[in-house]
Structure 1
């Protein structure tokens, strides 16, 4: 299955540290945690990093805080992002990153020990099952996906959204794209549809995580 993603440039505003939100089709705004993206570390990151004990593919790496932190721990990592700005920022941190769509051909397919989907990246493409099926193609035997989720009770939501910057008075209207949000309570069913199972779920502060393996 191929999903075309052309949203890389949409997130450049947030990657550069400017305050921004996702506008939903009903007009509601969801502010994005740009401070978390650009910091060196934040609450919950330790759980993600500790789960990665071997070569790790960081999907939607953003400005590269996790890819860089893994490198500092001696864990080989590769950041992947559809935004050139994200890739440039990741490389400036000293990490390795590739400008590519997760659904395109990637290095080391079928051999990665872990795949990271942090900071809501389970929503990439708006189809979490398709994304998880793609992750199973990237993982090696015994590998796992470490995924950040929404709190329990959030379920599964799909929305058409576009990016708005609060720091730009006059800006062109951004293009609409599909995104998804997955709560802790929804991940087991979605994982099963992708022939995966949930190893554990855990919360740290206001953030929630799970580790998935092939069934």
Structure 2
């Protein structure tokens, strides 16, 4: 059974809705970590996620084409920055707190897993896997295959990778804070650029760019010229935060 399937059966929203992560997004501060089963800690840059888009982020956004789907949008800085530029963008995230914060910033967001049915499948110009989100589900190959079906033929995927390492790590982790509060364990992955490019080539992607800004590393991939999206665009999707609160000032999903 794949790690993606395991994650979905366990309820993919649960790990990133745990109190340590929710609390960090509400305050905009860490410390926050991913902890492996062997005790190793990966610091999560909550303060940067909750700040405005920085120079490295803006370089990513400059390269985006068409309507942009931010997979694992977190607190929404990239979606908000794209909206401020007058560009069409949608964030998806399994965390209610992340989606709510994105909406408060004026962005458009849905509480969804990337493996759930999504609006405009097969018609997005660009997809983003930033801040380590290539690790979603613990199976980067399955994630790349899913994103290919979300993009239009020849669409662009921009991935942030682990800088300076040829790393391909598949692990079980949980979110924790400095006080020892912990969320539900879930599968995760970390990839350096060489490992990503090898995996992408096998999956039919074409590498079209690599760059580093501010100590962060990125790669751009072009999808195959045709895709196999089977589902029609979901024109009836609603803001995920409506499920709980129906906040005022709601914004529609961008039309493609």
TM over 0.5: yes
Name the SS of the counterpart of 1:44 in structure 2. helix
Q: Which of these two proteins has the greater Rg computed from alpha carbons?
A: 2
What's the CA shift for 1:141?
1.8
Match of 1:151 among 163, 166, 174: 163
Q: How far apart, in 2, do the equivalents of 1:75 and 1:20 lie?
A: 31
Contact 1:15–1:63 at 8 Å: present in 2 too? Answer: yes
- Residue among 14, 23, 30 paired with 2:24: 14
Stretches of structure 2 lacking an aligned partner (at least 5 in a row): 225-256
Question: Residue 39 of structure 1 corresponds to which residue in structure 2?
Answer: 51
**Distance in structure 1 (CA, Å) of the matches to 2:180 and 2:84:** 41
The aligned residue for residue 192 of structure 1 is 201
Distance apart, 1:83 and its partner CA: 0.5
Q: CA offset at residue 40 of structure 1?
A: 0.7
TM-superposed deviation, 1:51: 1.1
Give the equivalent residue in structure 1 for 2:154: 142
Alpha-carbon shift at residue 14 of structure 1 (Å): 3.3
Alpha carbons 2:31, 2:44 under 8 Å: kept: yes
Distance of aligned partners of 1:14 and 1:142 in 2 relative to their CA distance in 1, 3 Å threshold = same
**1:95 corresponds to which of 104, 107, 120:** 107
Cα 1:71–1:25 change in 2 (3 A) is same
- 1:129 touches 1:193 (CA, 8 Å); kept in 2? no
Q: Which residue of 1 is the match for residue 191 of structure 2? A: 182
Any conservation in 1 of the 2:69–2:90 contact (CA below 8 Å)? yes
- Structure 1 match to 2:237: none
CA RMSD after TM alignment? 1.6
In structure 2, how many angstroms separate the alpha carbons of the residues matched to 1:182 and 1:31? 16
The TM-score normalised by the length of structure 1 is 0.93
CA, structure 1 residues 154+35, in 2 after alignment: closer, same or farther (shift >3 Å)? Answer: farther
The residue aligned with 1:110 is 122
Deviation at 1:170, TM superposition (A): 6.3
Answer whether contact 1:13 1:165 (CA < 8 A) is retained. Answer: no
Q: Between Structure 1 and Structure 2, which shows a larger proportion of strand residues?
A: 1
Contact 2:76/2:105 (CA < 8 Å) preserved in 1?
Answer: yes
Please give the per-residue CA displacement for 1:134-170, whole angstroms capped at 9, x wherever unaligned: 000000022110111111324211111111112xx46
Aligned mates of 1:155, 1:8 — CA distance in 2:
24
Partner Cα separation in structure 2 for residue 104 and residue 76 of structure 1: 21
Structure 1 residues 185 and 170: CA distance shift in structure 2, 3 A? closer
